[in-house]
Amino acid sequence: MKLGKVMGTVVSTISHPIYDGRALLMCDLLDEKGEDAGGYLICVDAVEAGPGDTVLILDEGNGARQVVGDPSGPVRAVVVGIVDQLTVDGETIEVG
Amino acid sequence: MMQLAEVTGTVVATIKYEGLEGVRFLIVQPLDRDGEPDGRQVVAADAVEMAGPGELVYMVASREAALAMPVPFVPVDHAIVGIVDQVARQ
């Protein structure tokens, strides 16, 4: 799983049916200290996250398909949590 | 990997592996978060069957790409799964 920050949304009218009615979030990837790690993922939202939120991203197909409830959906990245706090090397960072 | 890409071209292949008949292949340039080219261009299957050169799309890579196709588990590693209307970025 990865940490990310929701930086925006992606709107698509013509898409695979699995994406119908689901929000797509553009998430920049973060390192373990909550800082920008470079790179991004487009994720399906499963927890009603929004821009500015630090989130937990599942980037693995089997789990993602389980979350969207379709065993044959072409989905790989899903936002599955909104992060409030990180503690790394004894240092606590509030990110909420 | 699910990311943005711009369609730059098309691929015509007459002889294809079983299950790939009728599948459209497009050349796409993966884009970074700022919409700038990110890495080399790749060939992606068009799962929405409506994408074309010049369009901004989002695609799914790896094994999940094959699941986007009408016949699942075909040998495809990038699939276009949506045409992007708008990216709203903070």
Average pLDDT on A31-51 reads: 94
Q: What is the pTM of this model?
A: 0.89
- The residue extents of the domains of chain B are 2-83
pLDDT band at B73 (very low <50, low <70, confident <90, very high): confident
* Distant-in-sequence, close-in-space partners of B7: CB < 8 Å, separation ≥ 6: B26, B27, B28, B51, B52, B53, B54, B55, B57, B80
SS3 B55: coil
Shortest alpha-carbon distance between residue B12 and chain A (Å)? 23
Average pLDDT on A25-29 reads: 97
Can you list the domains of chain A with their CATH numbers? 2-94 (2.40.50.220)
pLDDT band at A38 (very low <50, low <70, confident <90, very high): very high
Which value does ipTM take for this structure?
Answer: 0.84
Which residues of chain B make contact with A16, given a CB cutoff of 8 A? 47-48, 68, 81-82
Using the beta-carbon criterion (under 8 Å), do B64 and A16 form an inter-chain contact? no
Shortest alpha-carbon distance between residue B14 and chain A (Å)? 25
Residue A41 at interface with chain B, using a CB cutoff of 8 Å: yes
Beta strands per DSSP E along B1-90: 2-11, 25-30, 42-46, 56-61, 78-89
* Model pLDDT, residue A95: 87
Q: pLDDT of B14-35, one tens digit each?
A: 899 999 999 999 999 999 999 9
Identify the bridge partners of residue B9 per DSSP, sorted by sequence position.
Answer: B27
Choose the weakest-confidence range: A49-53, B13-17, B37-41. Answer: B13-17
Q: Running DSSP on this structure, what letter comes out for residue A17?
A: G
Tell me the CATH number for domain B2-83.
Answer: 2.40.50.220
